Structure formats: C-alpha cells, structure tokens
C-alpha cells in the first residue's frame, strides 16, 4: 500500500520538491521596498456546480514550505500562517475565540523570529522588507486591518512587490535556506533504523504527517501511522520506532493521501499550471471514504467516481453509461487498480480495506454490481425529469440508517459492501439484515424521499440474495429478476406479493385509511406469517365485497381476488398452511416480493393482465 501511494506521488509530481506542499492560501500580502504593507489580495476562486454539488468559493492552493503539524503549544510556520501568527491580529468574524494580548504578542514574535533568522542567513532583499514591515507592526508604526470576510483559519502569504506574483518563500535564496533547514532536521546521528517501506537506512524514524479531509477525523488532520500511548508499543521501541518510516517515504505517502482525499487537488506537473487533478475518491458515509487510483492514467478510472455516484451522464460518457444497466464494457486493460477505504476516529486514520486488482476486473465487477442491484423503481418520476438508471452508492448505504442519520451507517459495513462490489464476491449478510430492519421501520411512509429509500433497500436485498445464490450459499429461490416474477414460488416472495395485493384491495375499498394493513401488519407478517395472514385473508373478503359494490372498482376488485386466491391456495389456507416463521433470506424475499408486486399493481393494465395470468 505504501509503495503504491509513493509511486502515485512520484508519477503525479506531488513531491517533485519535497520541501514544499500545496495548501489553500486565502490572502496574499504585498510588501513594498520601503517595508510598507500594501492592500491585501484575496485568492478565492469559484468552483462550479458538479452534479448535485452546489457551486462554492474556495481559497486557491499554492506551494508553501512543508512543515510539521501544529497540535498544541505555540508554533509559528515559516512565511505562511494564520493572521494571529503572521500579522499579530485576529479576524473579527464573530467565530474566532478571543486571545489575550500576551498570547498574540508571543505568537507574532515567533513568526517574526523565523523571518529574522532567515534574513540573517540569506540577506535577501524581500525578506528584509517583510521583516521591517513586521517590526513596524510590533512597535506600532504600522497598523493592520484585516478584510471583513477573513476567517480565523485563513492562511496569509507574502510577496515582495517588485516581484509581481512570485511568493516571498519562492525567491531563490529563501528556497535554498528552507531546504538547508529541512536537511538539518534530519540530524547527523548514525543510521540506526531501516525504513520498512523503501529499505533506506536512517538515523531516526519520522513522524507521519497529518492528513486532512479524512471523514470522521479532526480538522487538523490525522496520521496513518502513530504510536501515542505505551499500549501500542512493543519490544522496547518507543513511538514510531515500532514502524520506522523515513521522512521522504512518510511525506510522499501522506501527500498522495491528501491528493486522493481532495476534490480538486492542484496539478503540480509542469505545463499544467491552473489545472486540477481528477477526483479519486467516493464518500460512503459521514465517516468513511474509498480512495482509488491506477498505476498510470486511465480513462475508466477517470469515470469511476461518477459511475458509483451515478452523477451527470456527461461526466461518464456514452461508452460507460451501459455499466449502469449491468452491461460490462470491453476495457481490455490490465493496468493495476488500487483501492483504499478509510475512516477517521479518535485522532487517527483507520484503514478499513485495501485491495489491488486490474482495471479490467473492476470494470466487469462494477457492471455486475449494477446488474445485481437492478430492481423495479416505485419512486415516481419528477415532472419533466427522468430517474437515474441506478441509485448512488451513498444513497444505497444511507437507506440502511434512519432518515437523515448518515452517521449511523457502520463504517465496517460500508467498507465490506464496497469490497464485495469491486471483487464480485457475496455482499455481507449484515447488509440484508439492516435492509430488512429499516424496511419494517419505515414501511408506513410514502413521501418521495422515503420511496427512494425503499427502492434502495429493495435493490440491496436483491443484490445480496442474488450473489448468495450465485455463490451456492443459498438454493431456496430461483434467479431473481428486475420486475415481479410470477414463477417464483419461494414462500417469502409469495407472501410479500400477497401483502402488496391485500394493501391494494384495502385501498380500493377504503381509500387511504389512517393505518393501512401494511402499516399494522407488515413487520409481523414478514417474520411470523402464520399468525397474521389467516386474519388478513378474512378481512380481505370484506374489502373485496365493498369494492365490488362500486361500478368503478368492481372489475379491479375481482381481478385482485383472483390474484389472492392463486397465491393463497399454494399454502392451503383452510388448514392454516402458512409457514410459522421465515428465515432471514425468506424475509428478504418477502420485502422484494412486496416491492415488485406493488410496482406491478400500479403498472399499465396490459402488464398487470400478463402478471395475473402468469400467477
């Protein structure tokens, strides 16, 4: 995994200058030759809307000196920092915690001292001008007024006015100075350890840099490798000596992770200035994300995220849209494909899954994933729009949690689901269990969003059962179809269909009652049908009689009665032949049968006649 990350960093020139890294710098502060601060220049740029994402304004990213993370205590960064360090003032945004005058003075003094040492080592004209400006602020000769839209975490960088747009830390003498400072950090001690990634010998293991944007992690970032308590140490080693990684390898891997987690990471390659690298991650839940890449640039990898997110078809392209309908694309690409599922928790990064395969294999498995998910949709089509051919992966997983509670999706379940989808293996049985539980809990809701969640759960139920059958783990039901299958004789599936028909008959006779037969009995009927369905069939006769008395509903009522008889007769209802209990898989088929039969009942009349005849 580390070697693949380091190779990604090398190939995309992410660490072409290992002493610098990309960070969003919100404000550029010009400094004149006479050490006067000139008007601040904002760097914010607009990011257009993509799919369902709204347009937004973000700070532009620049190469800045690479420095260790700041966790506690007062530590000033070199030539690029927040306003309280770089200028000795706090923004007045109403959200920034107050600081004492002494604290501000201390932090500002630390930043000035870093500039003073640099000037002493380089005698650089631009650094001299900045040092004079900062000293002017400290002694009150110059006042600083921050822009009204400045935030506490905005970074400020400086330019020497005669240089135009060249940042002060990019001046040649300053770059040489910073490289020497970084080299000095490695120390001159004798080599004692060997890097577990590259095999290089080194005097002491490096701390793994903190990586930001890890879902569930802290805003300051989390480390992939860390030993912050004695309980994690062994064999007499302390801290990162337990997993020695050289600074170059750690920074390259961390930069690659930062790039993978960034939605629009700046492209550092020569000739690509102003561009961004393509997105290489898909968010699964509030605390889980899957990152992916290939060992060289690849067309399929470019559309992989839009495929799973089922976003704008234009982003996917005509060639790959057939994948949504379960038809594999002849990629013929043996290019290596890597996947890494991550979560953040308790100040550290958790690797949920790591897989390595080929692009060709992933393309075929993604098509199979969508084929297994394909199910009749009960969600009504919005006026003037069309429903996407599939539901996004995040919507599928979100349907397993209470509405609006994406944080309730277990990270392990999300990781296992993606692993099965990309490997073509059976989905975890816990996926089926949670889908059934949420189907019972939300069966009485009919709002548009809830119907979409029902579609998502039905898709997952079908996919889990389909793969278990294909793998030989289950044999009690036939190959599952997208639409209602009148030839499926599984007891759970038939009873689910029967529940949908009874619901339709009640609605035909009574309209929309406050508590329908489904609201009251779905949960019990899907688990213990024997104690429920005999009673439901008796009530159905009353509903049928009432519906037959109305000329508008008489024909439909008779048709529904025939469907009920055709299904019920297979269980010998006069002898109470319904099964006492349903297994977990049969409960899933109950949910699927109800879903597909409900769709069939509201289909065109000619389709319903076909289903009735076949039943």
| Full DSSP string of 116-169 | HHHHHHH--HHHHHHHHHHHHHHTTSS-----TT--TT-EEEEEEGGGTT-BGG
Q: Is 37 helix (H, G, I), strand (E, B) or coil?
A: strand
Q: How far is CA 259 from CA 15, 249, 276, in A?
A: 11, 15, 10
* Alpha-carbon gap, residue 506 to 487, rounded angstroms: 25
Per-position DSSP letters for 8-28, written without gaps between them:
HHHHTTTTSSTTEEEEE--EE
pLDDT at 146: 92
Q: Which of 251, 197, 199 is nearest to 223 (CA)?
A: 251
Q: Which residues of 422-437 are buried (b: 16+ CB within 10 A; e: fewer)?
A: bebebbbeebbbbbbe
Please give the DSSP secondary-structure letter assigned to residue 60: P
Q: Please write down the long-range contacts of 164-168, taking CB distance under 8 Å and 24 or more positions apart.
A: 167/28, 167/62, 167/63, 167/64, 168/31, 168/79, 168/126, 168/127, 168/130
Tell me what pLDDT residue 541 has: 87
User: Whole-prediction pTM value?
Assistant: 0.86
**Burial environment of residue 20 by CB neighbours within 10 A (0 to 12, 13 to 18, 19 or more):** buried
Q: How many whole angstroms separate alpha carbon 399 and alpha carbon 454?
A: 8
What is the pLDDT, as a whole number, of residue 9?
A: 95
Buried residues in 170-195 as b, exposed as e (16+ CB within 10 A) = bbebbbebbeebbeeeeeeeeeebeb
The DSSP-derived string for 439-490 is HHHTTT--SHHHHHHHHHHHHHHHHHHHHHHHTTS--SS----SS--TT---
Question: Which of these, 227, 29, 36, 49, lies nearest to 132 by C-alpha position?
Answer: 36
Q: Yes or no: say if 585 and 469 are a contact pair by the CB < 8 Å rule.
A: no
Tens of pLDDT along 8-26? 999 999 999 999 999 999 9
Q: How many whole angstroms separate alpha carbon 522 and alpha carbon 529?
A: 9
DSSP class of 549: T
Tell me what pLDDT residue 203 has: 81
DSSP tag of 409: S
Q: Give exposure, 557-566, as e/b (b: 16+ Cβ within 10 Å).
A: bebbbebbeb
- Residue pair 198/247 in contact (Cβ under 8 Å)? The answer is no
**CA-CA distance, 370 to 302, in Å (whole number)?**
18
Residue 367 has phi, psi (to 5 degrees) of: -65, -40
Q: Which residue stretches of 166-320 are H helix?
A: 172-185, 247-261, 299-309, 313-316
pLDDT at 603: 66
Mapped onto helix, strand or coil, the DSSP state of residue 352 is: strand
Number of Cα atoms under 13 Å in the Cβ half of residue 436 = 26
**pLDDT digit string (tens) for 475-514?**
889 999 999 999 999 999 999 999 999 999 998 888 877 7
Cα–Cα distance measured from residue 600 to residue 378, given in angstroms and rounded to the nearest whole number: 9
User: How many of the other CB atoms lie within 10 Å of CB of 252?
Assistant: 24
Contact assessment for residue 212 and residue 258, using Cβ atoms and an 8 Å cutoff: yes
Positions of the chain with pLDDT lower than 50, given as ranges: 606-615
């Amino acid at each position: 995994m580390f070697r693949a990350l380091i190779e990604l960093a090398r190939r995309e020139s992410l660490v072409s200058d290992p002493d610098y890294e990309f960070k969003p710098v919100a404000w550029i502060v010009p400094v004149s030759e006479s050490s006067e601060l000139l008007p601040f220049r904002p760097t914010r740029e607009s990011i257009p809307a993509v799919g369902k994402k709204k347009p937004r304004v973000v700070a532009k990213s620049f190469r800045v000196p690479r420095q260790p993370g700041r966790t506690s205590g007062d530590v000033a960064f070199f030539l690029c920092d927040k306003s309280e360090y770089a200028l000795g003032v706090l923004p007045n945004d109403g959200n920034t915690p107050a600081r004492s005058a002494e604290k501000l003075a201390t932090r500002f003094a630390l930043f000035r001292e870093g500039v003073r040492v640099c000037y002493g080592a380089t005698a650089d004209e631009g650094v001299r001008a900045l040092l004079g400006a900062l000293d002017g602020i400290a002694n009150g000769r110059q006042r600083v007024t921050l822009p009204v839209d400045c935030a506490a975490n905005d970074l400020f960088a400086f330019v020497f006015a005669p240089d135009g747009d060249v940042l002060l830390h990019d001046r040649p003498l300053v770059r040489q100075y910073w490289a020497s400072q970084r080299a000095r950090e490695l120390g001159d001690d004798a080599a004692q350890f060997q890097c577990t990634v590259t095999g290089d010998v080194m005097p002491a293991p490096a701390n793994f840099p903190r990586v930001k944007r890890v879902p569930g992690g802290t805003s300051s970032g989390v480390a992939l490798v860390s030993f912050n308590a004695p309980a994690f140490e062994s064999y007499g080693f302390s801290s990162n000596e337990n997993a020695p990684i050289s600074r170059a390898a750690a920074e390259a891997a961390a930069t690659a992770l930062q790039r993978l987690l960034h939605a629009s990471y700046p492209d550092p390659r020569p000739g690509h200035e102003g561009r961004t690298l393509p997105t290489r991650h898909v968010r699964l839940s509030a605390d889980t994300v899957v990152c992916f890449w290939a060992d060289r640039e690849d067309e399929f990898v470019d559309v992989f995220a839009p495929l799973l997110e089922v976003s704008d078809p234009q982003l996917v392209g005509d060639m790959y849209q057939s994948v949504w309908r379960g038809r594999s694309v002849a990629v013929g690409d043996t290019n290596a494909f890597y996947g890494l599922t991550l979560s953040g928790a308790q100040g550290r990064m958790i690797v949920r899954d790591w897989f390595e395969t080929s692009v060709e294999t992933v393309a075929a498995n993604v098509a199979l994933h969508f084929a297994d998910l394909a199910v009749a949709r009960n969600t009504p089509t919005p006026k003037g729009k069309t429903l996407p051919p599939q539901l996004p992966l995040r919507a599928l997983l979100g349907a397993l949690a209470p509405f609006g509670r994406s944080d309730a999706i277990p990270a392990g379940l999300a990781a296992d689901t993606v692993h099965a989808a990309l490997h073509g293996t059976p989905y975890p049985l816990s996926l089926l269990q949670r889908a059934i539980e949420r189907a019972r809990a939300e069966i009485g809701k009919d709002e548009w969003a809830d119907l979409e969640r029902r579609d998502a759960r039905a898709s997952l139920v079908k996919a889990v059962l389909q793969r278990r059958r294909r793998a030989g783990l289950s044999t009690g039901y036939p190959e599952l179809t997208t639409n209602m299958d009148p030839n499926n004789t599984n007891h759970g599936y038939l009873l689910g269909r029967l529940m949908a028909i009874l619901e339709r008959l009640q609605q035909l006779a009574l309209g929309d009652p406050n508590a329908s037969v489904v609201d009251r009995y779905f949960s019990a009927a899907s688990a213990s049908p024997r104690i429920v369905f005999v009673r439901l069939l008796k009530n159905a006769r009353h509903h049928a009689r009432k519906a037959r008395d109305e000329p508008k509903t008489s024909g439909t009522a008779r048709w529904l009665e025939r469907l009920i008889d055709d299904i019920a007769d297979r269980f010998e209802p006069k002898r109470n032949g319904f099964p006492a209990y349903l297994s977990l898989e049969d409960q899933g088929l109950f949910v699927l049968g109800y879903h597909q039969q409900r769709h069939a009942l509201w289909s065109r009349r000619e389709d319903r006649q076909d289903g009735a005849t076949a039943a």
